[in-house]
Chains A and B, each alone.
Chain A
Amino acid sequence: MKPSNKLIKDLAPRKFGKAGVIWTWTLVIISVLGIIAYIDQVIKGQVVTNMNDYALWGIYISNFVFFVATSFVGTVTVAVLRLTKNAWRTPIVRIAEIISLACIIMAGITIMIDMGRPDRLLYLFIHGRMQSPIIWDVIIIPTYIVISLLLLYFPLLPDLAILKKHFNKTKPKLSKWYGKLSFNWTGSIAQKAIQSKSIQIIAILTIPAGFMLQTIDAWLFSTLFRVGWDSTNMGAYFISGASVAGIGALVTVVYVIQRAYKLEDYITDYHYDKLGKLLALTCLIYLYFNVNEYLLPQLTSKKEEITHTNVLFTGEYAPLFWLVTIGGLIIPILLLLFKKGRKPLPMFVIGIMVVVGSWWKRYLIVTPTLLHPFLPIQGVPESWRHYFPSMHEWVITIGTLAMALLIITVLVRYLPVIPIQRTADEQEELRLNKNTES
């Protein structure tokens, strides 16, 4: 069905207002500061970080794990909801695809930031051992970037053709770009058949790729015999945690875009309710894996494990651990169980709590374990037993987070955040169903 002018006008990308411009420039400035700090790190070496022989992975790796986890949103919402034929997904899938792409790109960049010699990146491919989970990560991340790009791109084709026409007179240059990117989409039966089949294949491909990505990320830790990491639970734990982080990020971004673009007619309370239920489900599953991950070592009383869990439960990291567990998981679950908790504004607040909790959760997965080395070294400086990121690490990390938001912002600025053609088709379907019923 041909979309109405109102629909196109509502959903076509539009210029940012004053707040949007300030937001974008803020992100640009933070990103540039991050790049400057990174250049300084490359010149001076990783001595500018607070990493040491104990905390040899720091905030960069926990940030990397956060990006990888959040990129799972493409798998868990777009692919799974499509294959399970959940029609309510339509207005949120494009945003999920954008978040997924932005996060996986930034995950790839962040892992390079952690490398002391980024110029030796090629060595990973030339000299890497296939036995190492790091090499599996090196393979799966570019693969997932391409899959995420295709997942975003194929459903965009009809919308790009619509935008080409829409901006033909008002913005001919932009229209030309949309035309090129639409790959001569005319909406013919042959084109629709190819596109539909391709999207189905990508949706199926995304699920194993997403699971592999999260599992490899988990195995980077669980193959290392370290307390807190040496667990058979780790793969499933990471997948459930990634679902929480991804959907939390999706809820937050959906709310901001809905308010900024005034899309209340398209993203309704019904969608928030559905998203809230999905988030509650993933949080409950993640809570279950958390119980497995922390309670069993505590009960089985292995000395090193007890030391580690005590650091988390009552020791140095206890305030952060309980803040993340209660604030980022238990309170969101309790709120999401009530219908009022699944309304837009509460959902936005819950989304922020979940995302912030997810970020610090990765910090808690990485850091405390490193401070309890597998083979303790005698006579180490006291400072090695503690880790808190340096100014360089904070600026670079915040810079990467800003870059991820900047990618999302740019894509939101130039792409229709809600699929136009699909919305028009669904509206037509709804109208026909109503007519049939009457």
Chain B
Amino acid sequence: MKNQLNFRYVFLTLLSVFLFTSLTQEIQAQDIKKNKVRLKADYVKIMDEEVYFDLKASSKIDKKNVDVANIELTISNEFDDEGIKLGSVTTNMNGESRFVIKDFNTLKLDSTNTFNIVVSFKGNDKFKRASKSINFRDALIKAELVTKDSINYITATLIDKNTDSVIVGESLNVQVQRLFMPFKIGEEFNSTDENGSIIVPIEDGIPGVDGNLTFEVVLNDSDDYGTVKALVKAPIGIPIVDESTFDQRTMWSPRSKTPIFILILPNVLTFGMWFIIIYLIIKLFKIAKS
């Protein structure tokens, strides 16, 4: 009987140790602090080309901003309190990703002619769930090149597509595409007039490959319309003369373009030395005969 009692105590002790350790582990697991993800979303529309969202995920860990890589972000269109999933993307090593809208016409507007988009992250072991909503109205930029009195101008009109009305007082940037960053031309701020239009003169002498220039008229990061960009291609630049010496006779050019002096000098030296060597070998045989 005494033995049985002892066994019970041992069993209860082991059970309580098991439960205690399991519970403690659970508490410790809950103690692992999940970080908060901050999402940033920019809506960009390039006229006659593509519409996309530039997304960025970051987090403040130990008082430092860290890019959150390899997390899946879901993009959905909010309509009548319902989210219509548009797709999902995964962030790259810089925490960035781009979601291109395949068919802009499928997006649904609310009663105020506004698109409501939600970018969401469902959370994982390290980060809490997060979401970011963007609201924008659809705007158009109609841009073209005009020439008056031998001076070239870029004219552009900004229109609210859904109300079909011109947008007055918004600032548009006019710039020309360059290799690394666009080059701004005209005034710093070009506000649209009562017709929703701007006109910017283009200075002469802008270089371009084969004389082709691509101008951008940009409504930049507007609260209502996001970023809208129209491209105008015009052959009015000064053609860039390719100054590459790759195809010339240089030290770094291909074998067929060896500099003439490199062909002449080493060959003269080589053939000169071998001529003397052959002469000496002939002399060797002359010794044998004499």
Contact = CB atoms under 8 A, between A and B. Distances in A.
Contact of B255 (A130, A136, A157, A191): A130
B286 interface: yes
Given A127-B255, A136-B266, A201 B274 contact: no
B263 interface: yes
Contacts of A147: 273, 277
A143 B274 contact: yes
Contacts of B253: 131
A194 B286 contact: yes
Given A191-B287, A198-B280, A205 B255 contact: no
B23 interface: no
A150 B287 contact: no
Nearest to A150: B280
A129 B287 CA distance: 40
Interface string A205-234: 100010010000000000000000000000
A195 B280 contact: no
Contacts of B285: 183
Choose among B253, B259, B286 the residue with the greatest number of A CB atoms under 10 Å from its CB: B286
Interface string B270-290: 100110110111011111111
Interface string B145-165: 000000000000000000000
Interface in A184-198: 184-185, 188, 190-191, 194-195, 197-198
Interface string A33-55: 00000000000000000000000
B240 interface: no
A127 B266 CA distance: 17
Give the interface SS of chain A, mostly helix, strand, loop or mixed: helix
Given A127-B255, A212-B269, A143 B277 contact: yes
Interface residues of B, number: 27
Contact of B262 (A131, A154, A195): A131
A430 interface: no
B283 A198 contact: yes
Nearest to A193: B290
Nearest to B279: A201
A139 interface: yes
B22 interface: no
A212 to B, nearest CB: 7
Contacts of B286: 194
A184 B258 contact: no
A349 interface: no
Contacts of B270: 139, 143
Nearest to A130: B258
B252 interface: yes
A183 B276 contact: no
A209 B276 CA distance: 12
Given A130-B266, A198-B280, A201-B280, A157 B287 contact: yes
B287 A131 contact: no
B17 interface: no
B273 A131 contact: no
A183 B277 contact: no
B277 A146 contact: yes
Contacts, number: 63
A201 B254 CA distance: 37
A129 B288 contact: no
Nearest to B281: A150
Nearest to B249: A131
B251 interface: yes
A127 B254 CA distance: 10
B254 A129 contact: yes
A128 B277 CA distance: 24
Contact of A194 (B262, B266, B274, B287): B287
A129 B262 CA distance: 10
A190 B290 contact: yes
Contacts of A146: 277
A422 B254 CA distance: 52
B287 A205 contact: no
B290 A188 contact: yes
Interface in B109-147: none
B266 A201 contact: no
14 contacts: A129-B254, A129-B255, A131-B262, A139-B270, A143-B277, A154-B280, A154-B284, A183-B285, A183-B287, A184-B287, A194-B286, A194-B290, A205-B276, A212-B269
Given A129-B255, A130-B266, A184-B287, 18 more contacts: A128-B255, A131-B258, A139-B266, A143-B270, A143-B277, A146-B277, A147-B277, A150-B281, A183-B285, A184-B288, A190-B290, A194-B283, A194-B286, A194-B287, A198-B280, A201-B276, A202-B280, A205-B276
